[in-house]
Amino acid sequence: HANGAVITRGSQPEVSWLLRCSKEDESMIQAIINACKDTLTANSIRGETNLNRLLILHLGTRDAAIEDYAKYYADSDVEFMNLPHIHATTSTQWLQHLSALIKAASYVVANVDKHNRPVLVHCSNGGDHTPQIITLAEIMLDSHYRTINSFQILVEREWIQFGHKFGDRCGHAQHTYSSLYGTFLCNTDFERTTANLEKKTLGVWSLLNIQSTQFINPSFNETIKEVLYPSCSIHNLRIWSNLYLCDMPVGSSERPSSTSTIQNENNNNDRQSTTCKSNGLPNLFKKMSRRRKRQDSNSTQRSACVRFFI
């Protein structure tokens, strides 16, 4: 950042069988602190002694063991965002999950932009929630990453090169079945190189980089260096029905409206629930699941056809 603060990422710090921290990890943390020493010193001069330390942001739930080993990292504070495990996203409450991700990214942005504080973001393996938060934070902080070419660089770096498990996580993605685009196939760069996907498949960027206004926001001005702080309220989130419900015929009684109606339940927990205008959402996902199973059985044949044309 222009103020000298940085955003770094990693997996959960290494701990031995005897719960001893890794000296290499400690050295790496100290290197980050040393690189931002001027920024942290400035916070101390302004009297913000609580902000002159590296923020280690653990995206998972609070863990006593993690809090215990944090004492080995000098000049660092550990905070927990309590994001649910990636597998928990399979059980509804989709908008609540999105809201939590935006809230976590906004917290990173505020620490970097407003408090000049370096942040280290990590989850259990560094490959799921970590790229989500890092990518959102960089887009919010820097208008440079809001252009098509720079967004491509961001995705390549934070998702593809860092080894997000696309093969395991995106089994539902349309072109994972068709194999038309090899950009997001497999789990690692090594697997993609071994499979020679660069020659056997097309790259999705070849489609997005064409000179077309289809993906252009006419009101966007890259010269405006504005830091974004989007609302994380579920009242302002909508289901992207054209993507996630594309198999449902338009006008179908089982296809919910693109605008979600948020209702407040006055129960003992005072929790919020998200409901769509259609009451057929559970049946919708059951039908989509059955449709995907049929697609799975035909995926080999479709993939073979695509490879033939390539």
What's 267's DSSP letter? S
pLDDT at 253: 53
What are the structural domains, with CATH classification, of the chain?
1-147 (3.40.1010)
195 backbone φψ class: left, alpha, beta (φ>0; ψ -120 to 50): alpha
- Token representation of residue 174: 């349309």
Q: Evaluate if residue 98 carries a pLDDT over 60.
A: yes
Q: Evaluate if residue 269 carries a pLDDT over 60.
A: no
- Token representation of residue 295: 């697609």
Dump pLDDT digits (tens) for 157-192.
999 888 888 878 775 566 666 667 888 888 888 998
Owner of token pair 């000179």: 211
- Token representation of residue 27: 């050295």
Mean per-residue pLDDT for 66-88? 75
Q: Evaluate if residue 151 carries a pLDDT over 50.
A: yes
Q: Evaluate if residue 307 carries a pLDDT over 90.
A: no
Residues above pLDDT 70, as percent of the chain: 65
From CA 38, how far away is CA 41, in angstroms rounded?
Answer: 5
Q: Evaluate if residue 266 carries a pLDDT over 90.
A: no
pLDDT at 231: 92
Q: How confident is residue 28, by pLDDT bands cut at 50, 70 and 90?
A: confident
Lowest mean pLDDT across 84-88, 211-215, 300-304: 300-304
Residue numbers annotated as active site? 123
- Token representation of residue 99: 């809201």
Q: How confident is residue 8, by pLDDT bands cut at 50, 70 and 90?
A: very high
Mean per-residue pLDDT for 280-297? 45
Q: Evaluate if residue 238 carries a pLDDT over 70.
A: yes
pLDDT at 133: 94
Q: Which SS3 state, helix, strand or coil, does residue 215 take?
A: coil
pLDDT at 113: 92
The 3-state DSSP composition of the chain as helix, strand, coil percent (nearest 5) reads 50, 10, 40
pTM reported for the whole predicted model:
0.72
pLDDT at 304: 30
Q: Higher model confidence: residue 207 or residue 280?
A: 207
